């Protein structure tokens, strides 16, 4: 039969490659990736490019015939040259760690296998690896050695999934089947005013509405004010609303602040609320023994989100949701399965399906890059890298506080340092002083630092992002990079000074 089918296939219609062609493709692409890992530290962090440059180089026409491999590789090099490089040691923007080589090559293996990890039946090995990785992650952060959960595209999807589980768990009987608002009482969520944007966005998507996310005041350290949390919950109860979930941050994306988790857990227990921790950025910092006391109470959460692609040095996308009660998570997503996906296996492990615990059906083999990275390096070396990132942020904070032309705006709690450039012309008596700057000076400082950030980003030598700290525009450096050294920190401060001089010359500041 196979011979008959072969004779019926039109010439040139097969996508199969010869052994020689496959070997050449694999060799050339592997060399391209190897060269990139070797050269990334010497590339511009941000390319000398503008919108449209990449397509102008490689073209936009859809080819009707095969493009030679040499041309394709040259186009791939152009794509690399016009990319921003998270792996550069002076990249401090957002929360974006570089990928380790083992993680990148694991993604190649996963893509070649192309498992659709919907259930054990669809991907037996991939399902077992993912469930193992989930348990490893729960153990690594001190949550639960036998935790359940699943991998997601990132923290946003993990947070939204947790909020749906929380709502279905805390709703009145029958409400979940009828809709989010059928209880007649608006259901409310509580989170710090420093919370990630994914929380109100998820509330909106789920139909709860952004207005039902109560933003609790933060204290001087930008951590949730527990007294105000209690006030907000009590006020809503008195007004006939139904509080159901409190969300704490284990490392905010603005400053790395860790909310008082243990105190918040106690409030959640008192009012019978679901306690979720957004640890997308910071939860893995528990691997740093010096930071572990900050996370007391993490083990009391009903659910936790974390992103291995933020601080476990694996490629995007690899988020994770951990939850303590697997039955509640399953109940939130229970439904009458379509015939084509019904599971008929009797063995519990073989009947396992990820669609019972999250919104996705099609899911890639995300776990392999986490599994291979942890096995290649071992948890101890990963922990050392995270500890060093925290130490580098502390070093940056020290250098800023020692300098006469910089001002610290948020001291590092984890691996984020927020500060600003403060020129002598805007200092009081030649010394930096937050209290001494008037409103007009603050506006001028905000504009100046905004221009400095843009100049640094487009200069290609370093990359910073920004945060607003109590109305002040901050230069924000997030260090989640195993290539970064103290020399890179020192160099970046000089780059900022150069940018300030450039901006001052252009703008007359």
Q: Do residues 40 and 69 share a domain?
A: yes
Instruction: Answer yes or no: is 95 within a domain.
Output: no
Tokens of 30: 């592997």
Task: Give the burial string for 78-93 (b: 16+ CB within 10 Å, else e).
Answer: bebebebbbbbbbbbb
Instruction: Answer yes or no: is 303 within a domain.
Output: yes
Q: Do residues 125 and 264 share a domain?
A: yes
| The pLDDT of residue 1 | 45
**C-alpha closest to that of 58 among 39, 36, 73:** 73
Dist. CA 352–CA 338, nearest whole Å: 16
**C-alpha closest to that of 475 among 505, 459, 453:** 453
Q: Do residues 228 and 338 share a domain?
A: yes
| The pLDDT of residue 431 | 43
Dist. CA 252–CA 198, nearest whole Å: 12
Instruction: Answer yes or no: is 154 within a domain.
Output: yes
Q: Do residues 412 and 361 share a domain?
A: no
Q: Do residues 288 and 352 share a domain?
A: yes
Instruction: Answer yes or no: is 1 within a domain.
Output: no
Q: Do residues 150 and 35 share a domain?
A: no
* Other Cβ atoms closer than 10 A to 352: 17
| The pLDDT of residue 414 | 98
Q: What strands lie across the sheet with 213-216, from one edge to the other? A: 148-152, 319-323, 303-306, 274-278, 242-249, 187-192, 213-216
Instruction: Answer yes or no: is 480 within a domain.
Output: yes
Q: Do residues 210 and 348 share a domain?
A: yes
pLDDT one digit per residue (tens) for the chain, 509 residues: 455 445 555 656 689 999 999 999 999 999 999 999 999 999 999 988 888 889 988 899 999 999 999 999 999 999 999 999 999 999 999 998 999 999 999 999 999 999 999 999 999 999 999 999 999 999 999 999 999 999 999 999 999 999 999 999 998 766 655 555 545 688 999 999 999 999 999 999 999 988 899 999 999 999 999 999 999 999 999 999 999 999 999 999 999 999 999 999 999 999 999 999 999 999 999 999 999 999 999 999 999 999 999 999 999 999 999 999 999 999 998 776 655 455 555 678 899 999 999 999 999 999 999 999 999 999 999 999 999 999 999 999 999 999 999 999 999 999 999 999 998 777 754 444 444 457 778 999 999 999 999 999 999 999 999 999 999 999 999 999 999 999 999 999 999 999 999 987 665 44
**C-alpha closest to that of 416 among 467, 462, 374:** 467
Q: Crossing angle for the helix pair 101-113 and 367-377, nearest 10 degrees?
A: 140
Instruction: Answer yes or no: is 309 within a domain.
Output: yes
User: Residue 4: exposed, middle, or buried by beta-carbon count in 10 A (0-12, 13-18, 19+)?
Assistant: exposed
Final residue before a domain boundary, out of 328, 354, 380:
380
Q: Do residues 230 and 337 share a domain?
A: yes
Final residue before a domain boundary, out of 328, 361, 380:
380
Final residue before a domain boundary, out of 357, 380, 403:
380
Q: Do residues 175 and 304 share a domain?
A: yes
**Strand ranges in 295-389 using DSSP code E only, listed in sequence order:** 303-306, 319-323
Instruction: Answer yes or no: is 130 within a domain.
Output: yes
| The pLDDT of residue 439 | 75
Q: Do residues 297 and 320 share a domain?
A: yes
Let me know how long the chain is.
509
Give the chain's domain count: 3
Dist. CA 6–CA 2, nearest whole Å: 6
**348 touches 144 (CB < 8 A):** no
Dist. CA 489–CA 344, nearest whole Å: 57
User: Residue 143: exposed, middle, or buried by beta-carbon count in 10 A (0-12, 13-18, 19+)?
Assistant: buried
Instruction: Answer yes or no: is 171 within a domain.
Output: yes
Can you give the CATH number for the domain in which 415 is found?
Answer: 3.90.1150.10
Dist. CA 368–CA 364, nearest whole Å: 10
Q: Do residues 247 and 327 share a domain?
A: yes
Q: Which range of residues forms the domain containing residue 142? A: 106-380
pTM beyond cutoff 0.75: yes
**276 touches 302 (CB < 8 A):** yes
Can you give the CATH number for the domain in which 365 is found?
Answer: 3.40.640.10
Provide the 3-class DSSP secondary structure of residue 415. Answer: coil
Dist. CA 340–CA 321, nearest whole Å: 27
Classify 277 in phi/psi space as left (phi over 0), alpha (psi -120 to 50) or beta.
beta
H or E segment at 317?
A: none
Q: Do residues 367 and 418 share a domain?
A: no
């Amino acid at each position: 039969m196979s011979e008959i089918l072969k004779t019926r296939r039109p010439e040139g219609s097969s996508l199969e490659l010869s052994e020689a062609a496959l070997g050449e493709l694999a060799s050339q692409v592997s060399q391209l990736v190897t060269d990139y890992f070797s050269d990334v530290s010497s590339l511009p962090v941000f390319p000398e490019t503008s919108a449209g440059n990449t397509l102008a180089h490689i073209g936009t026409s859809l080819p009707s015939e095969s493009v030679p491999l040499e041309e394709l590789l040259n186009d791939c090099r152009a794509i690399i040259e016009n990319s921003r490089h998270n792996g550069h040691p002076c990249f401090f923007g957002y929360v974006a760690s570089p990928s380790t080589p083992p993680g990148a090559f694991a993604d190649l293996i996963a893509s070649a296998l192309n498992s659709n990890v919907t259930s054990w039946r669809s991907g037996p090995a991939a399902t077992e690896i993912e469930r193992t990785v989930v348990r490893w992650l729960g153990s690594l952060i001190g949550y639960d050695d036998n935790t359940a959960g699943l991998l997601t595209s990132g923290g946003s999807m993990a947070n939204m999934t947790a909020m749906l589980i929380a709502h279905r768990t805390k709703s009145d009987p029958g409400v979940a089947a009828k809709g989010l608002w059928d209880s007649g009482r608006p259901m409310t969520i509580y989170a710090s005013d420093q919370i990630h944007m994914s929380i109100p966005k998820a509330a909106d998507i789920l139909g709860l509405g952004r207005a039902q996310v109560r933003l609790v005041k933060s204290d001087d350290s930008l951590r949730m004010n527990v007294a105000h949390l209690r006030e907000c919950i009590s006020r809503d109860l008195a007004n006939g609303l139904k509080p159901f979930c409190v969300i704490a941050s284990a490392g905010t994306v603005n400053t790395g602040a860790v909310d008082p988790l243990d105190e918040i857990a106690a409030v959640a227990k008192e009012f019978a609320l679901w306690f979720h921790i957004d640890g997308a950025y910071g939860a893995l910092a528990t691997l740093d023994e010096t930071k572990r006391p900050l996370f007391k109470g993490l083990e009391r959460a009903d659910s936790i989100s974390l992103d291995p692609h933020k601080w476990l040095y694996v490629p995007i996308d690899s988020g994770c949701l951990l939850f303590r009660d697997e039955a509640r998570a399953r109940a939130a997503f229970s439904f009458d399965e379509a015939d084509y996906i019904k599971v008929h296996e009797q063995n519990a492990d073989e009947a396992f399906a990820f669609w019972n615990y999250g919104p996705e059906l099609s899911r890639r083999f995300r776990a392999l890059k986490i599994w291979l990275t942890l096995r290649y390096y071992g948890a101890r070396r990963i922990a050392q890298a995270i500890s060093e990132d925290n130490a580098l942020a502390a070093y940056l904070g020290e250098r800023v506080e020692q300098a006469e032309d910089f001002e610290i705006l948020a001291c590092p709690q984890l691996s984020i340092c927020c500060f600003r450039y403060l020129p002598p012309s805007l200092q009081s008596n030649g010394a930096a002083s937050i209290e001494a700057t008037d409103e007009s000076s603050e506006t001028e400082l905000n504009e100046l630092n905004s221009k400095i950030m843009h100049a640094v980003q487009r200069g290609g030598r370093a990359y910073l992002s920004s945060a607003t700290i109590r109305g002040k525009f901050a230069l924000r450096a997030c260090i989640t990079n195993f290539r970064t050294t103290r020399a890179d920190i020192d160099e970046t401060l000089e780059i900022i000074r150069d940018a300030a001089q450039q901006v001052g010359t252009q703008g007359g500041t």
